[in-house]
Chains A and B, each alone.
Chain A
Amino acid sequence: MGKHEPIIEFADVTFKYKSQQQPTLKNINLKIFPGEKVLIAGQSGSGKSTLAHCLNALIPCSYAGDMSGVLRVCGGEPRQLGVFGMSKRVGTVLQDTDGQFIALTVGEDLAFALENECTPKEEMVQKVSEVAGKLELTEFLGSAPGALSGGQKQRVSLGGVMTCDVKILLFDEPLANLDPATGKRTIALIDELMQKEDLTVIIIEHRLEDVLYRKVDRIVLMDDGMIIADKTPDKLLSSDILKSHGIREPLYIAALKAAGAQISPEDGPSSIDTMDLSAHKDKVKEWYHQADKNKEQEKGDTLLSLSHLQFSYNDTRQIIKDVSFDIHSGEMVALVGKNGAGKSTIASLICGFLRPDEGVISWKGRDLSDLSIKERGEIIGYCMQSPNQMISRPMIYEEVALGLTVRGVPENEIKERVYEVLRICGLYPYRNWPVSALSFGQKKRVSIASILVMDPDLIILDEPTAGQDYAHYTEIMEFLKDLRNQLGVTILMITHDMHLMLEYTDRTLVLADGELLMDGRPWDVLTNDEVCDRAYLKRTSLYDLAVKCGIDDPGDFAATFIEHEKRERGAIEVK
């Protein structure tokens, strides 16, 4: 196979799942050459995951359906080689790194595929230590998954497929479960591996800006089962195709376009670090100076107040160190920080799942410590990350009514309140449906509705948008925003999504190693290098854009642009 022969070639491939009426992939023609790094982008349902499943032969071997056309990968046809045959050519790194970590320890998990190949033990040990060395996992070989960070687990997943000496690495949404700084490191690591090894890399991801942190050869944009564009990042970013197909553009590109700049591929827009802004500088400055400045919002009354909170599980390690902050009525606040910084612990302390060692949590000035979990649940609602972890009744009405039913509220009052909440959440037409008939975003709304029905003043949401694409993310966040605006519900979100922070919250609380590092406006947080570093956040590219354009106050520039975007979105909705 020469350098100019494609390593992957789709020729007129169409695929229809057995259970569906319409094909999910329609006449796909795509060539990928050895050594290339290709990003496949598209919103949920665009067919990008189906395309990936064709490469590792899960389609048509595990998911039945009709396939036509020819697909060749490394000179063979996946459907003939089967999932096992393909596992030696294409290494798939799944989005859910916990699900992919099968064995008890890192070493065993790296060796998993070799064990299945009946490789002799000495050979396995050698291969595992070689791969562990490449991925800086050597000191963790004996660790259990519970002792690893998200980034380390992902490196184990990657190592697990690399032990097979695969030629193609396929990443399925590699950034979905990582904090921004770790995601950045993952992208860098992929790049380093490609320089050392003979690899072809395919990344399926909708977070374009984060993937473009390192050079990508081509972006394949999919929508509705078809390839819409197959271009270099520079060309694609200069056009408006991304936005019209539900993919969010990098923030600096969006800001440039808002300022009226005509971006051309020659400017090198795929990276803000190297982009030539000479032609656009003045436009950006001009836009900034005449744009409406964002106004400081008035604060409501103090609802919840944490003062000098301390907590440790056992006396050894302090999880929460002297944390104090207030939440005001009607605010939307983000609680951010890397995994293990203590975000969930704070939420558990507020809800009463855990009790602080020291310090006071008060509600409208009243100490909460003598209230039970159930009693706190009536004023503070808690919503878990996955709606599946909360849904305990098969039917939507029953599920939303549950909190009232167990409290012995009269049947007619339950009905009234449930119907009202269902109307607010846009679920009223489906009230007699089973929960399973809903989409993920709708399920999320059911789980929020089942909290709202108890009429809490504050809702705490754990990672409300984790793993969601832009369309679903927007759906969920706009819904939360409406709740705040219409019902006056105060919202505290645990998140590591920086867009969410920037676009939807009034204030950001940054935690690092159990300490409150910063309590400020989101754009001030995301333009502060030191805070970003310690909390594993990533400085927003708006900052770099502002600096490169010679704007003195990058934080204010970021705020101005975000305000502008919010207004634009509002305008679209009104239409």
Chain B
Amino acid sequence: MARILSYEKKNTFVHRLSGFTKLLFLILWCFAGAMTFETRILVVMLLIGAGVYYVADIKWKQVSSVFIAIMIFMTLNLVAIFFFAPYQGCEIYDSRTAICHLFGNYYLTKEQLFYEFNVCIKYFTVIPSVFVFLTTTDPSELASSLNGVGVPYSIAYSVEIALRYIPDVQDEYTRIKNAQQARGIEMSAKGSLLKRIKNTSLIIFPLIFSSMEKIEVVSNAMELRGFGKKPKRTWYSKRPLTSIDLYVISFITLFCIATMIITFADGNRFFNPFR
């Protein structure tokens, strides 16, 4: 695994945006998507999302497996919601229009279907945005972008360290697992739960132990090169904001504000077609 994140270098409108812009977009977008239950806004967001996918030149091959996984998960979740609370929709929309009787006390209602449809498109507005962000943002820009949105630089830099060491730790984990397996310690599904936990500990322990040593070496190296000396720091890989960035930032800010106004104008965050 050379590059752990699925970032692909391309020259599209979305790729050219600064990491800061995209992170801000992601945060406000997720926030708006999480807050609203206004179906019309969610549909608009869905369309914008599809547009971004298109502009960013994301290929179906890249997303298909993720898409299928999310679909399976979502189906399970929607079914679970129905079994746990078949009339959640009726409560929310304060109305009950039965379509048919299923079994026992379970009736299929229009309100429930509409509510679950809303939950479904909420996922599809919020979750894929993470995917677009990951595939179009250079990981090197992540730390400076976090710092840009107000995260202290020391904490933002820990993201850089994490991304830097994920491949190393991954590699070390595989090697330790192999060596321990040769000694007879297996992480298979055999044996009792307690035994499996114990065997896992025998593989994780050397990994933690060597990570603790790595922490010593890396912190010495960082100190020797002046990390934490000043209250601020600059970023080599930070991309300067262009006018297009400013447009995008203005757009998402206005969009977020508008969403909040439209959603909460009537004191209820749900769009209710049943009234």
Residues of A within 8 A of B (CB): 56, 58, 62, 83-84, 87-88, 92, 94, 96, 98-105, 107-108, 111-121, 124-125, 128, 144-147, 160-161, 164, 348, 351-353, 373-374, 376-378, 380-384, 386, 388-393, 402-403, 406-407, 450-451, 454
B106 to chain A, nearest CB (A): 49
B275 within 8 A of A: no
How far is it, in angstroms, between the C-alpha of A351 and the C-alpha of B203 when the chains are bound?
A: 18
Question: For B236, what are the chain A residues with a Cβ–Cβ distance below 8 Å?
Answer: 107-108, 111, 114-115, 121, 124-125, 128
Question: For B226, what are the chain A residues with a Cβ–Cβ distance below 8 Å?
Answer: 84, 87-88, 113, 116-117, 164
- B231-243 vs A, CB cutoff 8 Å, 1 = contact: the mask equals 0111111101000
Which of A56, A117, A121, A376 is in CB contact (< 8 Å) with B229?
A117
Which of A92, A144, A384 is in CB contact (< 8 Å) with B176?
A384
- A104 close to B140 (CB less than 8 A): yes
A138 to chain B, nearest CB (A): 15
**Chain A residue with Cβ nearest B180:** A392
A121-B234, A373-B178 known; A450 and B183 CB under 8 Å? yes
Q: Which one, B35-43, B49-57, B69-77, B156-164, is touching chain A?
A: B156-164
Which of A98, A104, A373 is in CB contact (< 8 Å) with B182?
A373
B224 within 8 A of A: yes
How far is it, in angstroms, between the C-alpha of A84 and the C-alpha of B233 when the chains are bound?
A: 14
B85 to chain A, nearest CB (A): 46
A62-B220, A99-B221 known; A374 and B181 CB under 8 Å? yes
A351 to chain B, nearest CB (A): 6
**Chain B residue with Cβ nearest A57:** B224
Question: For A108, what are the chain B residues with a Cβ–Cβ distance below 8 Å?
Answer: 140, 160, 236-237
- B214 close to A390 (CB less than 8 A): no
A104-B164, A392-B206 known; A116 and B182 CB under 8 Å? no
Which of A104, A125, A128, A451 is in CB contact (< 8 Å) with B183?
A451
How far is it, in angstroms, between the C-alpha of A402 and the C-alpha of B202 when the chains are bound?
A: 9
- A406 close to B2 (CB less than 8 A): no
**Chain A residue with Cβ nearest B210:** A388
Which of B179, B223, B229 is in CB contact (< 8 Å) with A384?
B179
Question: For B199, what are the chain A residues with a Cβ–Cβ distance below 8 Å?
Answer: 406
How far is it, in angstroms, between the C-alpha of A407 and the C-alpha of B163 when the chains are bound?
A: 38
Question: For B181, what are the chain A residues with a Cβ–Cβ distance below 8 Å?
Answer: 353, 373-374, 377
4 smallest A-B Cβ distances: which pairs? A99-B217, A377-B182, A111-B236, A116-B226
- B164 close to A102 (CB less than 8 A): yes
**Chain A residue with Cβ nearest B237:** A108
- A374 close to B161 (CB less than 8 A): no
A438 to chain B, nearest CB (A): 14
**Chain B residue with Cβ nearest A90:** B224
Q: Can you identify 14 A-B contacts, CB atoms within 8 angstroms? A: A94-B221, A102-B161, A105-B237, A108-B237, A113-B226, A118-B232, A144-B167, A146-B168, A351-B178, A377-B182, A381-B182, A382-B179, A389-B172, A392-B185
A102-B164, A145-B164, A373-B181 known; A116 and B221 CB under 8 Å? no
A99-B221, A118-B234 known; A389 and B179 CB under 8 Å? yes
**Chain A residue with Cβ nearest B226:** A116
Question: For A144, what are the chain B residues with a Cβ–Cβ distance below 8 Å?
Answer: 2-3, 164, 167
How far is it, in angstroms, between the C-alpha of A111 and the C-alpha of B184 when the chains are bound?
A: 46
Question: For B183, what are the chain A residues with a Cβ–Cβ distance below 8 Å?
Answer: 377, 402-403, 406, 450-451, 454
Question: For B180, what are the chain A residues with a Cβ–Cβ distance below 8 Å?
Answer: 390, 392
How far is it, in angstroms, between the C-alpha of A114 and the C-alpha of B238 when the chains are bound?
A: 14
B101 within 8 A of A: no
B222 within 8 A of A: yes
B59 within 8 A of A: no
How far is it, in angstroms, between the C-alpha of A403 and the C-alpha of B202 when the chains are bound?
A: 11
How far is it, in angstroms, between the C-alpha of A386 and the C-alpha of B160 when the chains are bound?
A: 26
- A116 close to B2 (CB less than 8 A): no
A120-B234, A147-B2, A389-B176 known; A104 and B225 CB under 8 Å? no
- A391 close to B206 (CB less than 8 A): yes
- B3 close to A98 (CB less than 8 A): no
Most chain A CB within a 10 A radius of its CB, from B184, B186, B227: B184
A118-B234, A389-B179 known; A96 and B217 CB under 8 Å? yes
B236 to chain A, nearest CB (A): 4
Question: For B178, what are the chain A residues with a Cβ–Cβ distance below 8 Å?
Answer: 348, 351, 353, 373, 382
Which of A94, A115, A402 is in CB contact (< 8 Å) with B234?
A115
Question: For B205, what are the chain A residues with a Cβ–Cβ distance below 8 Å?
Answer: 392-393
- B185 close to A83 (CB less than 8 A): no
How far is it, in angstroms, between the C-alpha of A351 and the C-alpha of B175 when the chains are bound?
A: 12
B218 within 8 A of A: yes
B60 within 8 A of A: no
A123 to chain B, nearest CB (A): 9
- B230 close to A118 (CB less than 8 A): yes
B141 to chain A, nearest CB (A): 10
- B186-218 vs A, CB cutoff 8 Å, 1 = contact: the mask equals 100000000000010111011001100110011
- A115 close to B235 (CB less than 8 A): yes
- A116 close to B168 (CB less than 8 A): no
B228 within 8 A of A: yes
A108-B140, A144-B2, A403-B183 known; A386 and B210 CB under 8 Å? yes
Given contacts A83-B224, A94-B221, 5 further A-B contacts (CB under 8 A): A99-B220, A100-B221, A112-B225, A374-B181, A384-B176
Question: For B19, what are the chain A residues with a Cβ–Cβ distance below 8 Å?
Answer: none
- B3 close to A390 (CB less than 8 A): no
- A389 close to B140 (CB less than 8 A): no
Q: For chain B residues 91-136, which have a beta carbon within 8 Å of chain A?
A: none
How far is it, in angstroms, between the C-alpha of A377 and the C-alpha of B181 when the chains are bound?
A: 8
**Chain B residue with Cβ nearest A82:** B229
How far is it, in angstroms, between the C-alpha of A191 and the C-alpha of B42 when the chains are bound?
A: 65
B139 within 8 A of A: yes
Q: For chain B residues 64-91, which have a beta carbon within 8 Å of chain A?
A: none
A1 to chain B, nearest CB (A): 23
A83 to chain B, nearest CB (A): 5
**Chain B residue with Cβ nearest A352:** B182
Question: For A105, what are the chain B residues with a Cβ–Cβ distance below 8 Å?
Answer: 140, 237
Question: For B217, what are the chain A residues with a Cβ–Cβ distance below 8 Å?
Answer: 94, 96, 99-100
How far is it, in angstroms, between the C-alpha of A147 and the C-alpha of B220 when the chains are bound?
A: 24
- B167 close to A146 (CB less than 8 A): yes
How far is it, in angstroms, between the C-alpha of A374 and the C-alpha of B188 when the chains are bound?
A: 12
**Chain B residue with Cβ nearest A99:** B217
Question: For A92, what are the chain B residues with a Cβ–Cβ distance below 8 Å?
Answer: 224
Question: For B233, what are the chain A residues with a Cβ–Cβ distance below 8 Å?
Answer: 115-116, 118
How far is it, in angstroms, between the C-alpha of A6 and the C-alpha of B178 when the chains are bound?
A: 53
Question: For B176, what are the chain A residues with a Cβ–Cβ distance below 8 Å?
Answer: 384, 389-390
How far is it, in angstroms, between the C-alpha of A161 and the C-alpha of B222 when the chains are bound?
A: 11
B228 to chain A, nearest CB (A): 7
**Chain B residue with Cβ nearest A56:** B224
- A374 close to B224 (CB less than 8 A): no
How far is it, in angstroms, between the C-alpha of A145 and the C-alpha of B179 when the chains are bound?
A: 24
- B237 close to A382 (CB less than 8 A): no
How far is it, in angstroms, between the C-alpha of A160 and the C-alpha of B230 when the chains are bound?
A: 18
A499 to chain B, nearest CB (A): 26
**Chain B residue with Cβ nearest A61:** B223
- B179 close to A390 (CB less than 8 A): yes
Question: For A84, what are the chain B residues with a Cβ–Cβ distance below 8 Å?
Answer: 226, 229
